[in-house]
């Protein structure tokens, strides 16, 4: 018997698919299309198990859909701009382009060795000018429509290296390179106006619900963070002017006991200037600004100082002190709040800490609320108290009335706020797409004319990690001509955030060879992506940006669709010894080594078998051994039966053993098909393993050759999406079938043969027969009990009583024991 040699088998079939160009696809209006996309990798150097998992899951779906007759687009590319390439240049002196393309080359080899069914003709690398030129075009179009604009933004600044740092280069508040404490600095930068699409992005969240995980939808909604409220002016005491606050709880306005400004609020300095409080407040503001970075890492205490100034509650006329505190953010609302400690937890904690008064204005329906007795804010609905003529109303009703009053008095108006901020895309980095803008001393800011695109990133550059943006040092690049007056002008030296490239790459896969325009009719044929698969870490930013870009490109007339991704699957992490696989933890399993030892089919099988896609996968060395043994067992089974296949069938009808044997074939097809549809690959594989055991047990039985052949053929077809190489080999070498599996259709089952017999189950309540139900013989106990409890007979006799126990005697009866 031939030994199973995964290396030989796998290389053979990979070569075969490549030579036959099996996975290259063309648009074919006559066939239904299916666009399967996995998130493209950053070419960091080598694939890790997370990648392998992502792409193994995708490959099952791609191959399965293909066998179902879909015209499947399954592309792959490289998210090739980014910081690590630049860091490699700083640390090892290798050019980012060289580093990137070498990595791409290596990783592409790894993907091919896994046998993934990609159409490599459509490969994209985002650092290629033929890709980012279109991005520059979109930027210009957005600029012309006011969707790209320049504004001040806050950046991380390293005083040691005199350079801007990316968030990833700030480690514990310090520069990753020189260890200096990182400062905040205001710098001019480019923004994309994603807020203009906030409402549409939110509205479409609900339309996406059917094909996206609920968790991701919720994260997107929270990120957009729409909140309805009012802005109200609190006049200053003894001076002209007022403080404008934003609140979502105008019903609590009678309970305001202080007002708080964000430390960065311009009025802070104004109000303390020349007063005895000036020094202390300024010191606090400095500290709070420095805290900025740490704050984001989550370890912060609510702190503040009074300004010594007062303002007036416009509805009550009460005077309230003005404070500044670190928990009020300048970027949200108006950067100022009215504090209601009785009904807002943050305000409550702050008031307790600084001994500020607490005034209750809403009480629960059934009791009084005394400020002294409160241990936390009362944030529920209730009845208005201490609120003038609103007393006694429900707070919901009062809310509407108070807003009307505020608007009538002209002291404020309704306002909708979003957490979502415009997207700052300027990076003072080298390895990114240049922003196509020219600054002319006479004509101002101008976009690069379209026919001069792309603005190619120059390759001759010095990257030291110190000083300003590397591009600013490349004189040939910076110095240019003004497109309007032809005088000397300068180019923008910022590059774009790499998230911009990943916001539209899925569109470009449809027509990567079109060098005249970004998109053509092929986009219409393939889009939207039918199934997108990737990590949950992209649940917010990448997916939101991609949705935003799709809408912008629609409004610019480039594409004709509202949403890019029909369905989304977020796969879990790969963990080992209880922690996420990572270099720093030293628990990394190298895919190459595993493929060397067991072959790609075993690695794929193990990854798919160990956990359902959305769950975390715990890497166990025994597990991969087990999968390898299974494939060897499968191999031997085929070779053992092979001689039998040539024999003729007996003349008599199926024996009862053969009936069972045949039924199992169809049950397995049904189960595996349904499991793949639901992405339950692990249970599909478990079913195949069980079936293999059954076939081994059937070896001594008298099963006719044609039935054996059918079983083995179905085995190959059903396992093919998971382990494509070994199945091709067995199909062609043992079963002698042609054409290859990749061109076969997914098997169908005969519904007549998978019917489960039904049984009648009697429903008793306290031992008396009250109803009966018809159920499939193998319906799980829980289901039978649920159905029994819902029968009219059971309902009549359990109503108003407590069910104590439900007993199921399989295939016979359910007894419901109840009391009362």
Nearer to ligand ANZ, 257 or 531 (CB): 257
Q: Which does 47 bind (CB under 5 to 8 A by kind): Zn ion, ligand ANZ, none?
A: none
Contact string (CB under 6 A) for ligand ANZ, positions 293-332, x = contact: -----------------------------------xx--x
DSSP state of 367: S
Pairwise CA distance, residues 559 & 138, whole Å? 12
Give the range of 241-249, 654-662, 665-673, 797-805 binding ligand ANZ by CB under 6 A: 241-249
Give the range of 164-172, 248-256, 563-571, 739-747 binding ligand ANZ by CB under 6 A: 248-256
What angle do the packed helices 621-645 and 681-698 form, to 10 degrees? 40
3-class SS at 412? strand
Nearer to ligand ANZ, 344 or 728 (CB): 344
Give the range of 21-29, 45-53, 252-260, 479-487 binding Zn ion by CB under 5 A: 479-487
Does position 485 interact with Zn ion (CB under 5 A)? The reply is yes
Instruction: Specify burial of residue 715 (Cβ count, 10 A radius: 0-12, 13-18, 19+).
Output: buried
Contact 46, 106 (CB under 8 A): yes
Among 284, 380, 371, 277, which Cα is nearest to 321's?
277
Contact 670, 678 (CB under 8 A): no
Nearer to ligand ANZ, 246 or 565 (CB): 246
Nearer to ligand ANZ, 341 or 564 (CB): 341
Among 373, 347, 342, 344, which Cα is nearest to 359's?
342
Does position 363 interact with ligand ANZ (CB under 6 A)? The reply is no
- Could you give the strand order of the β-sheet that contains 574-576, starting from the edge strand earlier in sequence? 579-580, 574-576, 617-618
Residue 359 Cβ vs ligand ANZ, minimum distance, rounded to whole Å: 11
Spell out a b/e string for 135-145, using b for 16 or more CB atoms within 10 Å of the CB, else e: bbbbbbbbbee
Nearer to ligand ANZ, 247 or 428 (CB): 247
Residue from 232, 309, 338, 703 touching ligand ANZ (CB under 6 A): that is 338
Pairwise CA distance, residues 669 & 675, whole Å? 10
Question: Which residues, 628 to 687, sit near ligand ANZ by CB under 6 A?
Answer: none
Pairwise CA distance, residues 751 & 707, whole Å? 18
Q: Which does 338 bind (CB under 5 to 8 A by kind): Zn ion, ligand ANZ, none?
A: ligand ANZ
Residue 489 Cβ vs Zn ion, minimum distance, rounded to whole Å: 6
Question: Which residues, 487 to 526, sit near Zn ion by CB under 5 A?
Answer: 487
Q: Which does 66 bind (CB under 5 to 8 A by kind): Zn ion, ligand ANZ, none?
A: none
Pairwise CA distance, residues 481 & 460, whole Å? 20
Contact 722, 630 (CB under 8 A): no
Residue from 304, 314, 335, 412 touching ligand ANZ (CB under 6 A): that is 335
Does position 403 interact with ligand ANZ (CB under 6 A)? The reply is no
Residue 291 Cβ vs ligand ANZ, minimum distance, rounded to whole Å: 14
Whether cis (ω within 30° of 0) applies to the bond prior to 273 is no
Half-sphere exposure in the Cβ direction for 551 (13 Å, CA): 21
Question: Which residues, 259 to 278, sit near ligand ANZ by CB under 6 A?
Answer: 262
- Strand (E) or helix (H) holding 661: helix 656-677
Nearer to ligand ANZ, 7 or 248 (CB): 248
Residue 244 Cβ vs ligand ANZ, minimum distance, rounded to whole Å: 11
Nearer to ligand ANZ, 544 or 665 (CB): 544
Question: Which residues, 118 to 147, sit near ligand ANZ by CB under 6 A?
Answer: none
Contact 542, 586 (CB under 8 A): no
Alpha helix ranges (H) inside 321-474: 345-354, 395-409
Does position 706 interact with Zn ion (CB under 5 A)? The reply is no
Residue from 340, 489, 761, 765 touching ligand ANZ (CB under 6 A): that is 340
Nearer to ligand ANZ, 57 or 285 (CB): 285
Pairwise CA distance, residues 383 & 398, whole Å? 9
Contact 619, 574 (CB under 8 A): yes
3-class SS at 1? coil
Nearer to ligand ANZ, 54 or 291 (CB): 291
Does position 248 interact with ligand ANZ (CB under 6 A)? The reply is yes
Residue 281 Cβ vs ligand ANZ, minimum distance, rounded to whole Å: 18
Residue 332 Cβ vs ligand ANZ, minimum distance, rounded to whole Å: 4
* Rg of the chain taking only CA atoms, in angstroms: 33
3-class SS at 525? helix
Sign of dihedral through CA atoms 80, 83, 86, 90? Answer: negative
Does position 343 interact with ligand ANZ (CB under 6 A)? The reply is yes
Residue 142 Cβ vs Zn ion, minimum distance, rounded to whole Å: 22
- Strand (E) or helix (H) holding 764: strand 758-765
Q: Which does 248 bind (CB under 5 to 8 A by kind): ligand ANZ, Zn ion, none?
A: ligand ANZ
Does position 227 interact with ligand ANZ (CB under 6 A)? The reply is yes
Q: Which does 260 bind (CB under 5 to 8 A by kind): Zn ion, ligand ANZ, none?
A: none
Contact string (CB under 5 A) for Zn ion, positions 411-450, x = contact: -----------------------------x-xx-------
Residue 455 Cβ vs Zn ion, minimum distance, rounded to whole Å: 17
Pairwise CA distance, residues 527 & 541, whole Å? 21
Q: Which does 440 bind (CB under 5 to 8 A by kind): ligand ANZ, Zn ion, none?
A: Zn ion
Altogether, the residues listed in the chain come to a count of 820
Q: Which does 443 bind (CB under 5 to 8 A by kind): ligand ANZ, Zn ion, none?
A: Zn ion
Residue 334 Cβ vs Zn ion, minimum distance, rounded to whole Å: 39
Among 811, 772, 813, 814, which Cα is nearest to 803's?
814
Residue 466 Cβ vs ligand ANZ, minimum distance, rounded to whole Å: 36
Pairwise CA distance, residues 670 & 99, whole Å? 48
Nearer to ligand ANZ, 313 or 426 (CB): 313
Question: Which residues, 411 to 470, sit near ligand ANZ by CB under 6 A?
Answer: 417
Give the range of 409-417, 476-484, 519-527, 790-798 binding Zn ion by CB under 5 A: 476-484
Nearer to ligand ANZ, 53 or 249 (CB): 249
Nearer to ligand ANZ, 416 or 456 (CB): 416
Residue 149 Cβ vs Zn ion, minimum distance, rounded to whole Å: 20
Distance of CA 260 to the CA centre of its chain: 36
Contact 202, 553 (CB under 8 A): no
- Strand (E) or helix (H) holding 605: helix 600-610
Among 611, 676, 723, which Cα is nearest to 50's?
611
Nearer to ligand ANZ, 279 or 331 (CB): 331
Pairwise CA distance, residues 580 & 575, whole Å? 4
Nearer to ligand ANZ, 379 or 766 (CB): 379
**Cα separations (Å) of 434 from 98, 135, 149, 548?**
19, 10, 15, 21
Q: Which does 428 bind (CB under 5 to 8 A by kind): ligand ANZ, Zn ion, none?
A: none
User: Helix count (H) and strand count (E) of the chain?
Assistant: 25, 34
Does position 344 interact with ligand ANZ (CB under 6 A)? The reply is yes
Number of amino acids touching ligand ANZ (CB under 6 A):
18
What angle do the packed helices 681-698 and 600-610 form, to 10 degrees? 110
Does position 198 interact with ligand ANZ (CB under 6 A)? The reply is no
3-class SS at 613? coil
Pairwise CA distance, residues 48 & 37, whole Å? 18
Binding site for Zn ion (CB under 5 A): 440, 442-443, 482, 484-485, 487
Binding site for ligand ANZ (CB under 6 A): 227, 246-249, 252, 262, 328-329, 332-333, 335, 337-338, 340, 343-344, 417
């Amino acid at each position: 018997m031939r030994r199973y040699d995964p290396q030989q088998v796998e290389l053979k079939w990979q070569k075969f698919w490549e030579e036959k160009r099996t996975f290259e696809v063309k648009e074919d209006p006559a066939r239904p299309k299916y666009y399967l996309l996995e998130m493209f990798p950053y070419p960091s150097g080598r694939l890790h198990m997370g990648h392998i998992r992502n792409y193994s899951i995708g490959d099952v779906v791609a191959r399965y859909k293909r066998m179902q007759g879909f015209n499947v687009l399954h592309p792959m590319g490289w998210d090739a701009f980014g910081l690590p390439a630049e860091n490699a240049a700083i640390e090892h002196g290798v050019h980012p382009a060289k580093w990137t393309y070498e990595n791409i080359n290596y990783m592409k080899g790894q993907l091919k060795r896994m046998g993934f069914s990609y159409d490599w003709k459509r490969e994209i690398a985002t650092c290629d000018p033929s890709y980012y030129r279109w991005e520059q075009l979109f930027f210009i179009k957005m600029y012309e429509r006011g969707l790209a604009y320049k504004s001040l933004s806050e950046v991380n600044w390293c005083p040691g290296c005199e350079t801007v740092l990316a968030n990833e280069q700030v480690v514990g508040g310090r520069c990753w390179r020189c260890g200096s404490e990182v400062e905040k600095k205001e710098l001019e930068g480019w923004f994309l106006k994603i807020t203009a699409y906030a409402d549409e992005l939110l509205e479409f969240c609900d339309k996406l619900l059917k094909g996206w995980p609920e968790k991701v939808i919720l994260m997107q909604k929270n990120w957009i963070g729409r909140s309805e409220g009012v802005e109200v002016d609190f006049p200053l005491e003894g001076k002209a002017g007022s403080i404008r606050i934003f609140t979502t709880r105008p019903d609590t306005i009678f309970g305001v006991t202080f007002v708080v400004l964000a430390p960065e609020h311009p009025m802070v300095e104004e109000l303390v200037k020349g007063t005895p409080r000036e020094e202390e407040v300024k010191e606090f503001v400095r500290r709070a600004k420095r805290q900025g970075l740490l704050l984001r890492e989550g370890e912060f205490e609510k702190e503040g100082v009074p300004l010594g100034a007062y303002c007036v509650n416009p509805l009550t006329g009460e005077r309230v002190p003005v404070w500044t505190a670190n928990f009020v953010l300048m970027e949200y609302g108006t950067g100022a709040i009215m504090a209601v400690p009785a009904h807002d937890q943050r305000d409550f904690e702050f008031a307790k800490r600084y001994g500020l008064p607490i005034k209750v204005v809403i009480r629960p329906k059934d009791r009084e609320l005394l400020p002294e007795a409160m241990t936390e804010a009362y944030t529920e609905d209730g009845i208005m108290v201490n609120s003038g003529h609103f007393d006694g109303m429900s707070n919901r009703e009062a809310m509407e009335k108070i807003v009307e009053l505020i608007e009538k008095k002209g002291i404020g108006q309704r306002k909708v706020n979003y957490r979502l901020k415009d997207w700052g895309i300027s990076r003072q980095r080298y390895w990114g797409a240049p922003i196509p803008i020219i600054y002319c001393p006479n004509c101002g800011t101008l976009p690069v004319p379209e026919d001069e695109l792309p603005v190619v990133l120059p390759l001759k550059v010095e990257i030291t990690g110190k000083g300003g943006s590397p591009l600013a040092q490349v004189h040939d690049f910076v110095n240019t001509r003004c497109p309007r007056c032809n005088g000397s002008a300068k180019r923008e030296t910022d590059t774009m955030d790499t998230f911009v490239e990943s916001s539209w790459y899925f569109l470009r896969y449809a027509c990567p060879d079109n060098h005249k325009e970004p998109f053509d009719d092929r986009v219409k044929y393939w889009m939207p992506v039918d199934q997108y698969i990737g990590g949950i870490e992209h649940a917010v930013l990448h997916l939101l940006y991609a949705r935003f870009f799709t809408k912008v490109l629609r409004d610019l007339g480039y594409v004709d669709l509202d949403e890019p991704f029909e369905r989304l699957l977020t796969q879990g992490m790969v963990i080992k010894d209880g922690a996420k696989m990572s270099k720093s933890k030293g628990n990394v399993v190298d895919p190459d080594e595993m493929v060397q030892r067991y072959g790609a089919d075993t690695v794929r099988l193990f990854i798919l078998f160990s956990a359902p896609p959305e769950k975390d996968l715990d890497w166990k060395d025994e597990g991969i051994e087990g999968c390898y043994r299974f494939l060897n067992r499968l191999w031997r089974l085929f070779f053992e039966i092979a001689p039998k296949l040539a024999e003729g069938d007996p003349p008599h009808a199926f024996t009862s053993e053969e009936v069972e044997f045949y039924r199992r074939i169809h049950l397995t097809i049904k189960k595996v098909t349904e499991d793949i549809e639901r992405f339950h690959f692990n249970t599909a594989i478990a079913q195949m393993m069980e079936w293999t055991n059954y076939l081994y047990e059937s070896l001594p039985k008298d099963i006719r050759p044609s039935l054996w052949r059918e079983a083995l053929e179905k085995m190959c077809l059903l396992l093919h999406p998971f382990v494509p190489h070994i199945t091709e080999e067995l199909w062609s070498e043992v079963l002698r079938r042609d054409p290859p599996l990749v061109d076969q259709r997914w098997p169908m089952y005969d519904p007549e043969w998978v019917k489960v017999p039904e049984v009648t189950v009697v429903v008793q309540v306290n031992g008396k027969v009250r109803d009966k139900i018809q159920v499939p013989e193998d319906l799980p106990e829980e289901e039978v009990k649920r159905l029994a409890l819902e029968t009219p007979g059971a309902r009549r006799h359990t109503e108003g009583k407590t069910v104590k126990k439900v007993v199921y005697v399989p295939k016979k009866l359910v007894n419901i024991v109840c009391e009362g």
